[in-house]
Structure 1
Amino acid sequence: MWRTEDGVRLQSRTGHDVTALWMDLAVAAMRLPPGVILDGEAVVYVADADGRARISFAAAQSRALSRPRRARELADQHPATYVAFDVLTHPAAGFPDLRPRPYSERRQVLLDVLADVGPPIEPVWSTTDRSEALLWHTALEGTGMEIVAKPLRSAYAAGRIWSKVQHADTVDVAVVGFTGTARHPKALAVRLPDGRVALSQRLTTALASVVGPRLVPQSGRAFTKAGDSYTPATGDVVVEVVAGTTRHTVVTVVRLR
């Protein structure tokens, strides 16, 4: 989230300008001081059958894959929240580049810059109390929220510098291939924690649309231990899968990481 001198620009992890798809967040971000750059994630909360608000990856993907007019309609139905993980710059406070500073300092600057902004732009919850973190890990299971651990002394760097504290039912795995076409993958070949390569169940249209552009097909064919054929691929693609099914090599992809 870039607050420029005269506006706001929202950029996806792949570098694409997605401001038009998240205009509700862009409007709210005008309250940020010019020059501030935040790192975070746009999330959408949807009520479940019991009326409890849960993070909906499907709703967020629908917004991300829509056209601007449709995105405005979706925003009216389910407004987005921007969960700010980090702050990279805050020139007005004397921080033209916060990236080399330890996370503990960046965290305080993040809280300061968002103090007068308010929802829907919010700082991610954070604690240094292990007991509190474990309580969150238990209480938030099933809501779509995740617990990650980040070193307090770490500088900001590209790529993942934190560790996800997994629930028992999911695991992150590398994508090593696919079936179908790279443009429209039907299933993914993933390398499981025990080293096995297995094919996932058929991808949803939304998942195929976000994973496909990240796949780089390689020549030839490859085979899982079970004999399933797939097209090998590179691209450092990581997906989250339901781990409780992997012992029987039935892999359900939850989302792109």
Structure 2
Amino acid sequence: MPAPSALPGGCLYEPKWDGFRLVIVRDRDVSLWSRKGTDLTRYFPDLAEAASAQLPAGVVVDGEAVVWREGRLSFDELQHRLSSSAATVARLAREWPASYVAFDVLAVADQDARSLPLLDRRALLEELASEWSAPLNLSPATRDAGEAAEWLETMTAAGIEGLVAKGAGQPYRGGQRQWVKVKHRDTLDVVCAAVIGPLQRPEALVVGLPVDGELRIVGRSTPLRAAASRALGQLLQPPEGPHPWPAQVKPGALDRFNSGGPRCHRPDPRRTDRCGDLGRRRHHRPLLPPRRPIRPGEARATRRRSERLLAPLRPLLWPIPPSASWRAE
């Protein structure tokens, strides 16, 4: 984790949310935009309605859309929305409503705030959020490295991926990587039950965990380097009997962002690998060296309030041009 003085103006630590990055633009109407500039408004009618009711015109906020399910963040529920019809999206919004976690403000009262230091933008955001109600939320932030370290260890139980460290004195520069992401890491013994590529020179490993008496696919490794491929190839053997997995893995079983399932070769599923970087299922895992063999067996803010807050900062702001592009960092 970066030291408190590692970034310009000192570090401001925030949780790293497992959701969709969304910029909400409140003008005459409301629109929601992805990091790549895709209009996602129709996929989040619940958030658009809340933003229309609670954000004053002329505000642009940056944050993440998340869905809570059984006390944890569920990226799967978010992903489901993007492949659903309008009727299905409406049903999902009722059954598993989204929440919005705001961590930055880019404009207030039609004034561009991106040139302000993060601490000043945070003050603006906190004023805006002082009267918000669900599903709009203010992301917590701290300058206390000890508190941040505690978040890193305790919030992961709810699906928080880790931390983001930001420079408190930095302006908002869209399209540039200014933040430092700190992912929570853990290790776990997993079963190497298939490989992509030949057994003698595997390109990647497909790993599983015993769940309810079945060996379930939990992900695959990153591409193996040549030396690791050769070393692991010497450890893999054909199965001695029936294999619990099919030769053709279903689409999405290994990577929910890919539409096709690769063909796997299936070795004897009795060797354990140590799997690191367990923050999110949708990322491939790097594998650590193999271990012992085992038996197979996770508010509304008003314009007047905005104008009052803006008064001392107005010399630093300028009107938003009609063609302003709200590109996320």
Q: Aligning the two structures, in what range does the TM-score lie when normalised by the shorter sequence? A: 0.5 to 0.7
Shift in Å, 1:71: 0.8
**In the alignment, residue 147 of structure 1 is paired with which amino acid?**
L
Q: Are 1:99 and 2:137 an aligned pair?
A: no
Tell me, yes or no, if the aligned pair for 1:169 and 1:242 is still in contact at 8 Å: no
Matched with 1:182 is none
Please list, as runs of the form range in 1=range in 2, the aligned pairs for 1:1-257 lying within 5 A after superposition.
Answer: 1-5=24-28, 7-30=29-52, 31-47=54-70, 53-91=71-109, 96-145=111-160, 146-159=162-175, 160-169=177-186, 203-204=252-253, 206-208=256-258, 240-243=283-286, 245-247=287-289
Shift in Å, 1:64: 2.3
User: Number of aligned pairs?
Assistant: 194
| Pairwise CA RMSD | 3.2
Shift in Å, 1:19: 0.9
Tell me, yes or no, if the aligned pair for 1:103 and 1:153 is still in contact at 8 Å: yes
Secondary structure at 2:112 match in 1? coil
In structure 2, distance between residues paired with 1:43 and 1:99: 24
Tell me, yes or no, if the aligned pair for 1:9 and 1:19 is still in contact at 8 Å: yes
Secondary structure at 2:56 match in 1? coil
Q: Percentage identity across aligned positions?
A: 35
Secondary structure at 2:33 match in 1? coil
Shift in Å, 1:197: 10
1:139-179 per-residue CA deviation (whole Å, 9 max, x = no partner) reads: 11232213111110111012332111121239xxxxxxx99
Secondary structure at 1:119 match in 2? coil
In structure 2, distance between residues paired with 1:112 and 1:161: 24
In structure 2, distance between residues paired with 1:166 and 1:38: 24
Any unmatched runs of 5+ in structure 2?
A: 1-23, 188-202, 205-218, 230-248, 260-281, 291-329
TM-score w.r.t. the length of structure 1 is 0.66
Any unmatched runs of 5+ in structure 1?
A: 48-52, 171-177, 180-186, 210-238, 249-257
CA 1:33–1:208: 2 relative to 1, 3 Å? same
Shift in Å, 1:79: 0.7
Tell me, yes or no, if the aligned pair for 1:114 and 1:123 is still in contact at 8 Å: yes
**Larger RCO, structure (CA 8 Å, separation 6 or more):** 2
Tell me, yes or no, if the aligned pair for 1:190 and 1:197 is still in contact at 8 Å: no
CA 1:14–1:197: 2 relative to 1, 3 Å? farther
CA 1:247–1:82: 2 relative to 1, 3 Å? farther
**In the alignment, residue 126 of structure 2 is paired with which amino acid?**
L
Tell me, yes or no, if the aligned pair for 2:59 and 2:109 is still in contact at 8 Å: yes
Tell me, yes or no, if the aligned pair for 2:102 and 2:136 is still in contact at 8 Å: yes
In structure 2, distance between residues paired with 1:207 and 1:246: 24
Tell me, yes or no, if the aligned pair for 2:221 and 2:284 is still in contact at 8 Å: no
In structure 2, distance between residues paired with 1:3 and 1:144: 29
Structure 1 ranges of 4+ moved more than 3 A:
187-192, 194-198, 201-206, 239-243
**In the alignment, residue 35 of structure 1 is paired with which amino acid?**
G
Q: Which has the larger radius of gyration?
A: 2
In structure 2, distance between residues paired with 1:77 and 1:196: 49
